[in-house]
Chain A
Amino acid sequence: MPDYEFSPASGDRPRSWISKQVLIVLGVCLPVILALAIWVGVLTWRQSSMGATDHVSAIVLGRCLTYTRNMHPELRNQDCKKILNTFTSAFVSKDPCNITKEDYQPLIDLVTQTVPCNKTLFWSRSKELAHQYSGIQKEMFTLEDTLLGYIADNLVWCGDPRTSEVKEEFCPYRNENCSSTATSVFWTVVSQKFAESACGTVYVMLNGSRTTAFSKASTFGSVEVFNLHPDRVHTLHAWVMHDIGGVERDSCLGSSIKELKSIVNQRNISFFCQDDYRPARFVQCVRHPEHPSCSVLM
């Protein structure tokens, strides 16, 4: 009877050879496939639970991704998950009053961002106006327009030795009993790096409606000014802004600015000052369009 059957019959030499080959291949591949499947499964599970974190972590991660994907695609190869982990490692499970600069060093080392020369804008007691200005003049960078400043702006966070959680409530305020909080040390550390990396002509927006426009107690006056590198920064240009319809308490002619000038000159950096820098004045005028100092010829 002609052998037209194709179903395997035992004892047939070619067929058992094929079966053996198939068995060997399966024997090797199946465990690999299984391992792969488990690995993918774990990854997917981790991916999906990536979002199930505390509030601060969710915000920081979301901001980091928005910043590096939408706003500054030149930073798209920054690993936001790693940045988040390095950030939280600085303070979780630690005494919330005893955070050190070294705690944040891994984060500082991880995120490198170059602000173009002549585009650094410091601010002191004028945060809102400085940000409104840099929001319009998008090529200018305040600290909060850099990645590290952006992810943390307006947030409060701390750790606790009793847990590994990232907390945003019941965090201690900075005072004489608690001098090195997670947030205060963070801002000191990133401000220092921000100032160190600045180059060319740098700008600072100061508030002339305060008693002193420049104060050595401020972050600008205690950290940033002293970390400008004379090899990189040749000029500091100050804008002393006064509230529209407000009191003019200090100005470029005042003694606090003289003090700033002397500090800066001693570091071999030139200093200029201007009261009510016009483009920033326009930003202020948006809220006070009827004020005399905002009258625009139509």
Chain B
Amino acid sequence: MAAQGCAPRRLLQLLQLLLLLGAGAAGAQWRGEGTSRNLESIFLGRCAEYSSLLLSPAEREKNCTAIWEAFKVVLDKDPCSVLPSDYDLFINLSRHALPRDKSLFWENNHLLVTSFAENGHRLMPLCDVLYGRVGDFLSWCRQKNGSGLDYESCPSSEDCENNPVDSYWKRASIQYSMDSSGVIYVMLNGSEPKGAYPVKGFFADFEIPYLQKDKITRIEIWVMHEIQGPKVESCGEGTVKILEERLEAMGFQYSCVNDYLPVKLLMCVDHSTHPDCALNSAAASTQRDGSSLYTDRGATLTMALLMALASGAQMQLEPPLS
């Protein structure tokens, strides 16, 4: 899973670049984005919403105020001295059971994961778990010299290792792995030039080592390739092979699928006219028989409109899979 939890790397890098440009003038201290405004309200709102809408009745008694109080102890600490263990109480209060066979680990395909997971209903990646949801897309840190929050900037991993946000995601990732059970799914990006499985990353360093062999039946890897994108790696190749060998050495039963069909179909929403998304002839003819085009201005206009829609759909920007 990418750093900053579910926040896409590219977006964060862009934000960091913008921050740097702005910070150049303001003299900001760190490379990372500053504390999110109204952090407490967003946190409490997300906690309330998650508890009431997504947790089972038995678990709904989560005390969001207590969870916030446990979380905010890190806001009093030096922003380069926050350890993953500083979030232990926060995790203890916010953790809840993860449904079996619903854990989804991933690298470099945040948007696809969010769409496919359907808000925790189909699968439950870390950002659909309470302790992942409350911090998603947010940033926080105390000022270096002083007791208030730093809204200008916060340390990134390049500034120092033990920064509040990285330590949060490390701790959350560890817990997520430990609580996962049944079939584990891993979605990787086979069009990523640097390799589908980052050998140093959140998944490699803070998730795989904490998977519980006695709770896990098997691990299924999906290597997805962007439509119209390069097939940099597939199952059994390059870094995917490294991952497979690592899992085997750890004693896990695993399998690997290229372009897992349900996820592929999701990618086709954006590329419905691409040859890779063509329905086979039997299905296509069923479609044609069943479909009807009803217009008040004649078939030619309809065709023109449909072609315009189709080419418009094809011109949609692909979700950045990184």
Q: Is B145 interfacial (CB 8 A cutoff)?
A: no
A169 to B65, CA, bound (A): 21
Chain A residues whose CB sits within 8 angstroms of the CB of B313 once the complex forms: 137, 279
B277 and chain A: residue at smallest CB distance: A296
Contact B265 A282 (CB under 8 A): yes
Chain B residue total in the interface (Cβ 8 A) = 57
Contact B37 A292 (CB under 8 A): no
A73 to B272, CA, bound (A): 30
B214 within 8 A of A: no
**Cross-chain contact B49 with A59 (CB below 8 angstroms):** yes
Residues of A within 8 A of B290 (CB): 242, 248, 251, 275-276
Closest to A262 in B: B296
The reply to whether the CB of B238 lies closer than 8 angstroms to some CB of chain A is no
Contact yes or no, B282 A253, CB < 8 A: no
Q: Is the CB of B68 within 8 A of A51?
A: yes
Partner of A272, one of B36, B269, B295, B316: B295
B293, A296: Cβ atoms under 8 Å?
no
Q: Is A63 part of the binding interface, using a Cβ–Cβ cutoff of 8 Å? A: yes
Given contacts A61-B41, A62-B44, contact A286 B266 (CB under 8 A): yes
- A48 vs B264: C-alpha distance in the bound complex, in angstroms? 46
A62 touches B41 (CB 8 A): yes
- Which B residues lie within 8 Å of A132 (CB)? 115, 118
The answer, yes or no, to whether B261 is at the interface (CB within 8 Å) is: yes
Question: B45 to A60, Cβ gap below 8 A?
Answer: yes
Task: Assess whether B45 is in contact with A66, with CB atoms less than 8 Å apart.
Answer: yes
Docked Cα-Cα span, A75 to B272, in Å, equals 32
- Evaluate contact between B293 and A274: CB separation under 8 angstroms: yes
CB distance from B6 to the nearest CB of A (A): 11
Which residues from chain A contact B269 at a C-beta distance below 8 Å?
133, 136-137, 279-280, 282-283
B41 and A65: CB pair below 8 A? yes
Tell whether A251 pairs with B45 under 8 Å between CB atoms, given A69-B36, A132-B118, A289-B262: no
Q: Say whether A293 faces chain B, with CB atoms less than 8 Å apart.
A: yes
Query: With a CB–CB cut-off of 8 A, which chain A residues contact B276?
Result: 296-298
| Interchain CB contact under 8 A, B40 and A137 | no
Shortest CB-to-CB span from A227 to chain B, Å, is: 21
Interface status of B287 (Cβ within 8 A of chain A): yes
Contact bitstring B234-278, A, C-beta under 8 A = 1, else 0: 000000000000000000000000010111111011101101111
Flag if B265 contacts A296 (CB, 8 Å). yes
Asked whether A252 and B46 contact (CB < 8 A) given A289-B265, A293-B286, A295-B282, the answer is: no
Asked if B262 and A58 sit within 8 Å, CB to CB, the answer is no
Q: Does A215 contact B (CB under 8 A)?
A: no
CB-defined contacts of B42 to chain A, threshold 8 Å? 62, 65-66, 69
Q: Does chain B have a CB within 8 A of A171?
A: no
Tell me how far the C-beta of A204 lies from the nearest C-beta in chain B, rounded to whole angstroms.
14
Tell whether B279 is near chain A: CB-to-CB under 8 Å.
yes
Distance in Å: Cβ of A166 to nearest Cβ of chain B: 12
Residue of B nearest to A290 (CB): B261
Answer whether residue A285 sits at the interface, using C-beta atoms and an 8 A cutoff: yes
Given that A279-B269, A283-B266 are contacting pairs, would A296 and B41 also be in contact in the complex, using a CB cutoff of 8 Å?
A: no
Say if the beta carbon of A80 comes within 8 Å of chain B: yes
CA distance A278 to B265 in the complex (A): 11
Interface residues of A in 203-229 (CB under 8 A from B): none
Minimum CB–CB distance for A170 against chain B, Å: 15
Q: Given the complex, which residues of A lie within 8 Å of B45, measured CB to CB?
A: 58-63, 65-66
How far is it, in angstroms, between the C-alpha of A11 and the C-alpha of B52 when the chains are bound?
A: 74
Q: Would you call B75 an interface residue if the criterion is a C-beta within 8 Å of the partner chain's C-beta atoms?
A: no
- Max count, chain B CB within 10 A of own CB: residue among A62, A137, A272, A295: A62
Residue in A59, A275, A286 whose Cβ sees the most chain B Cβ within 10 Å? A286
Please encode chain B, from 26 to 52, with 1 for each CB lying within 8 Å of some chain A CB and 0 for all others. Answer: 000000000011101111111111001
B234 CB to closest chain A CB (Å) equals 13
* B279 CB contacts on chain A under 8 angstroms: 293-297
A54 to nearest B CB, angstroms? Answer: 9
Within 8 Å CB of A251, what residues of B?
290, 292
Q: Which partner residue on chain A sits nearest B302 by CB separation?
A: A272
B12 to chain A, nearest CB (A): 12
Contact for B44 among A58, A257, A276, A296, CB less than 8 A: A58
CB contact under 8 A between A51 and B44, given known A135-B115, A270-B297: yes
Q: How far, in Å, is B312 (CB) from chain A's closest CB?
A: 9
Give every chain A residue within 8 A of B64 (Cβ-Cβ).
58
Q: In the complex the two chains form, is A51's CB within 8 Å of B270's CB?
A: no
Q: Tell me if B49 and A293 are in contact (CB < 8 A).
A: no
Is residue B300 contacting chain A, with contact meaning CB distance below 8 A? Answer: no
Nearest B-chain residue to A70, judged by Cβ: B137
| A279, B84: Cα distance in complex, Å | 43
Given A51-B44, A65-B42, A285-B265, 17 new contacts (CB under 8 A):
A50-B41, A51-B41, A58-B48, A59-B48, A62-B46, A62-B49, A65-B37, A65-B38, A66-B45, A70-B137, A132-B118, A136-B266, A252-B293, A275-B290, A279-B268, A279-B269, A297-B276
Instruction: Report, nearest first, the 7 A-B pairs whose CB atoms are least far apart.
Output: A62-B45, A58-B48, A273-B294, A252-B294, A275-B291, A289-B261, A51-B44
Residues of B within 8 A of A (CB): 36-38, 40-49, 52-53, 64-65, 68, 115-116, 118, 137, 259, 261-266, 268-270, 272-273, 275-280, 282-283, 286-287, 290-297, 302, 305-306, 313, 316
16 example contacts (A-B, Cβ-Cβ < 8 A) are as follows A51-B68, A58-B44, A58-B64, A59-B49, A61-B41, A61-B45, A66-B46, A136-B270, A270-B297, A273-B294, A285-B268, A289-B265, A293-B283, A295-B280, A296-B261, A297-B278
